[in-house]
Amino acid sequence: MDWQDKENLKELFERFVDSQQGRQAAEDIDKGDKIVGLYPAPQPSAELIADIKADVQAVLLHRRARTIRYATYKAVAVAAVVVVVGAVLLTLFKKPDSARQVAAGVSKASVVWASESSGEDEDVSMLTAEVNQIASELVAVQLDEGRGNGNGAASNLEMELIETNGDFWKG
């Protein structure tokens, strides 16, 4: 310890205790440094140093493998999420198209029914109009299927369509 360090240490101790006790504490520390300098610690053997290095290397390799495994699992999870979201989006975008195709088929069928019923009696025309109205309501409910309680309304409209269709064929 050089002279400046001893002086700084003495000033530090004097802030906590009186000046004589601070000086004594600084001298005790100086004596302790001299004793430690006279008796150096033994150096570890080369085998011990090699064992410690091998242990540290094994731990680092294990951590690296764990980090790579974690990154791989994370990438697989992200890929799975992307696939699921993509499948859901494709399903959502396909549904309205299929519902539009159903609506187009219903409108074509209504044209055929209307042309067939033009020369027939009034009851057939009324039943045809009722079936067409229920079919269009059913398509409208199916387009809004994911919102609210659409499934119950769709089921009710399907039952009404089946009932009306049955009445049509009974005459």
Residue-wise pLDDT for 93-111, tens only, equals 775 444 555 555 555 555 5
Q: Which domain range does residue 131 map to?
A: 42-170
Check whether 13 has a pLDDT greater than 90. no
36 with 113, same domain: the answer is no
**Cβ-count burial of 135 within 10 angstroms (0-12 exposed, 13-18 middle, 19+ buried)?**
buried
Q: What is the pLDDT of residues 111-163, one digit of tens each?
A: 544 555 455 567 777 777 777 787 777 777 667 654 555 456 667 767 777 77
Under DSSP, is residue 44 helix (H, G, I), strand (E, B) or coil? coil
Query: Tell me, what's the pLDDT at 65?
Result: 94
Number of compact structural domains in the chain = 2
What pTM does this model have?
0.32
Give pLDDT, residue 149: 52
- Say yes or no: 92 and 147 in one domain: yes
Domain identity same for 114 and 85: yes
Pair 37, 76 in one domain:
no
Mark whether 73 and 20 lie in a shared domain: no
Rounded CA separation 109/89 (Å):
31
In this structure, the answer to whether residues 26 and 88 fall within a common structural domain is no
Closest CA to 142 of 130, 132, 131, 157: 157
Render pLDDT for 20-72 as a digit per residue (tens, 0 to 9).
888 888 888 889 888 988 988 888 999 999 999 999 999 999 999 999 999 99
